[in-house]
Chains A and B, each alone.
Chain A
Amino acid sequence: MTMVFEHFNFAVVIVLMMTGLFAVFASHNMIKKLVGLSVFQTSVFLLYISLSKVTGGRPPVLSKKELHGYGDSYAKAGDGADAAYKTVEKTAEIIYSNPLPHVLILTAIVVGVATLAIGLALVVRTREEYGSIEEDEIDAYNYQDNLEGVSR
């Protein structure tokens, strides 16, 4: 039972991924397929980001005092934002969540929407050509075409 609790993120993410995959497999409407693919994709993002979480960690944005060569000038300025960091630094070293998966997923999201747009463009063109976005109807239309010996 503890194992399930400790890995609850994976358990739920697997359910989400499989739901998206089912939407891709089982639906014959192309837009619904793409929505399923998008759900699947977002679930993979969740998997990666949940791997990078560190308990008690902070977002990977460094305080200015930690930066070499910048600390002195900012310490003189003495802005109030750093006061919060001072107390934290006294008690314990700050731990940050792992920034590397964040970078991977950040770019993956933007590329994901670009490829999604390509898919939607193909769907729109399919609709213009066949008058339908249901796979069954397109298959039936192609089958009919083949029977009649029409090569397009």
Chain B
Amino acid sequence: MKPQSKTRFKPMPERSENQHVILRVVAKLLIPLIAVYGLYVHFHGDYGPGGGFQAGVIFASSIILYALIFGLDEAKRVVPPSWIRIIMSLGVLVFGGTGVATWLLGGEYLNYTMFAPDSTHAAGQHWGIFAVEIGVLLTVTSVILAIFYAFGSRGGSRRGSHSPNPVDGDKS
């Protein structure tokens, strides 16, 4: 059996504080820009290429970059895993709730015109698309982060902890 890797998603070992100074500085410069760009892509999605799906991925990637440079534990202090579970389901609820709202206003499910039936420039559609895209953004961002957290923290707690099943294939 091949020796298992000691590498994690955390490239910054605690022993040397001054490693990767350039990476850290550049990342600190870039992360807010990436996050703002994600929001731009989201809110500009009606006018150009973009929308909730892309914005969610870009926004999540800014936090993933943070985790790659500063370590997963630091990232978990920025966005705790407990939030992720809530936001994940909140996004689906926002999307579904928009449909229910149009229902209650007297239209079909997801018939956004009901938000502003008298508008001459389809304001109801704009509001509906806005609400739905928010739902997509929340779900996609948190699911991507959940996936990253799950893979990133899998290795750390495995060895040395209680594991009744021997991992390295010496069972047979």
A contacts B directly (C-beta below 8 A): yes
**B169 x A117 contact (CB < 8 A):** no
Assuming the contacts A124-B151, A124-B154, asked whether A61 and B48 have C-beta atoms less than 8 A apart, the reply is: yes
Instruction: Count residues of chain A with CB under 8 A from any CB of chain B.
Output: 24
Interface size bracket, B side = 20 to 34
Which of A69, A113, A120, A144 is the one whose CB lies under 8 Å from B151? A120
Q: Within residues 88 to 146 of chain B, which ones have a CB less than 8 A from any CB in chain A?
A: 120-122, 140, 143-144
**Residues in chain A near residue B140, CB distance under 8 A:** 110
**Residues in chain B near residue A131, CB distance under 8 A:** 1, 167-171
Assuming the contacts A61-B49, A110-B57, asked whether A69 and B167 have C-beta atoms less than 8 A apart, the reply is: no
Q: How far is the CA of A61 from the CA of B48 in the complex (A)?
A: 6
**Is the C-beta of B161 less than 8 angstroms from some C-beta in chain A?**
no
**Residues in chain B near residue A121, CB distance under 8 A:** 150-151
Q: What are 29 contact pairs spanning A and B, CB under 8 A?
A: A59-B49, A61-B48, A68-B121, A69-B120, A69-B121, A69-B122, A70-B121, A106-B53, A110-B57, A114-B143, A114-B147, A117-B147, A121-B150, A121-B151, A124-B151, A124-B154, A128-B158, A128-B167, A129-B165, A131-B167, A131-B169, A131-B170, A131-B171, A132-B169, A137-B169, A141-B171, A141-B172, A144-B172, A145-B172
